Chains A and B, each alone.
Chain A
Amino acid sequence: MTAQTAHNHSDKHKSCKELLGDLSLYIDGEAEADLCQEIEQHMADCENCRVVVDTLAKTVFLYHGLEHNRMPGEARRRLYKALDLSDYLDEPDPASSSTNRKADCP
């Protein structure tokens, strides 16, 4: 962040802060059309906010894709035993596998 961009960011601080609270609505695709337009116009003039929006969307995207931790085999055996279901212990149901999703990045 250069001194110049820092200055510009400071000048727009109020509108940047106002914008900030709505960014999740925007990246989730839940923002009204007017708000989307306002955010996009703001980003066109404010490089820092553009970076924040893009990196926030990317953060959500990366976390949506983060591999789910599966219960270790030994823990699974203990679980089935504790539930008195050892006779049902088999490979995990395919339907319960990772639910990785793509983010709704704008």
Chain B
Amino acid sequence: MLYLFSKGETDESLYQEPASKPMTDHVAPENTIDVEALRAGDRAAFARVVSLYADRLYNLALKLTGDSLEADDVVQEALISAFKNIRHFEGRSHISTWLYRITHNAAMMRLRKKRVDTVSMDAPLQLDSGDMVPRQFFDWCCLPEKELVSSETAAYMEAAIQQLPEPLKEVFVLRDIEGLSTAETGEVLDLSIPAVKSRLHRARLFLREQLSEYFADHARGIDQ
């Protein structure tokens, strides 16, 4: 069994609950979760949470780590930690937001451990201002649907996410992949709403460049 923290290392701030409870459609299953039963240690209530959220947390972990085995471990660590620290959950936020936060933290801790000798992930986000300037102007919007949604395109899109700088990737995955609101994304990541919007926009522009290059190459290949 894996644990996020060894003895004496628990950082309770990691389990702090976001303050508000924004309303978005993706949290509808929360209505069926009995928080009191969870806090009382009810196994059936835990099983209900796992059934509802394991896939979502796995998707988040996979996008953040880019590794399916790491993602398995991250979800396991996160859910074990969540249930051990359920006392910190008071119902002020949605449990999904709380679980996303713990899963994100677990993923980041693993990534940090792997990057001890590289740039600190706590360093301020420094991107070349040139990253905002579009360079690809191929209009691929009207390509046939079968090319836009092919498995090859999906694989390229997945790979492109992994090329995003971490601060942009985590915002993009939570907002545009997991469908959290801007406010919820800010709560999960401890970011202001303007910061979420700015990073999301940069991520989208980056991915647009990548997809434009991909489709332009694809179109040239078709023409030849």
Contact = CB atoms under 8 A, between A and B. Distances in A.
A93 B179 contact: no
A85 B47 contact: yes
Nearest to B201: A24
Most buried by A among B59, B138, B153, B200: B59
A1 B135 CA distance: 10
Interface residues of A, number: 47
Contacts of A56: 204-205, 208
Contact of A69 (B59, B79, B134, B148): B59
B149 A65 contact: yes
B200 A62 contact: no
The secondary structure that dominates the A interface is: helix
A93 B51 contact: yes
B56 interface: yes
Contacts of B53: 96
A2 B199 CA distance: 31
A78 B148 contact: no
Interface string B136-166: 1111110000001100011001100000000
Contact of A24 (B32, B43, B139, B197): B197
A74 to B, nearest CB: 9
A66 B176 CA distance: 10
B52 A82 contact: no
B120 to A, nearest CB: 27
Contacts of A97: 55
Interface in A31-90: 47-48, 51-52, 54-56, 58-60, 62-72, 75-76, 78-80, 82-85, 88, 90
A92 interface: yes
Nearest to B32: A95
Contact of B72 (A5, A51, A65, A79): A79
B28 interface: yes
Interface in B86-134: 132-134
A67 B191 CA distance: 27
B212 interface: yes
Contact of A88 (B47, B133, B149, B205): B47
A79 B50 contact: yes
Contacts of B14: none
Interface of A: 1, 5, 17, 20-21, 23-25, 47-48, 51-52, 54-56, 58-60, 62-72, 75-76, 78-80, 82-85, 88, 90, 92-93, 95-97, 99, 101
9 contacts: A21-B201, A56-B205, A56-B208, A68-B56, A69-B58, A69-B59, A70-B59, A85-B47, A88-B44
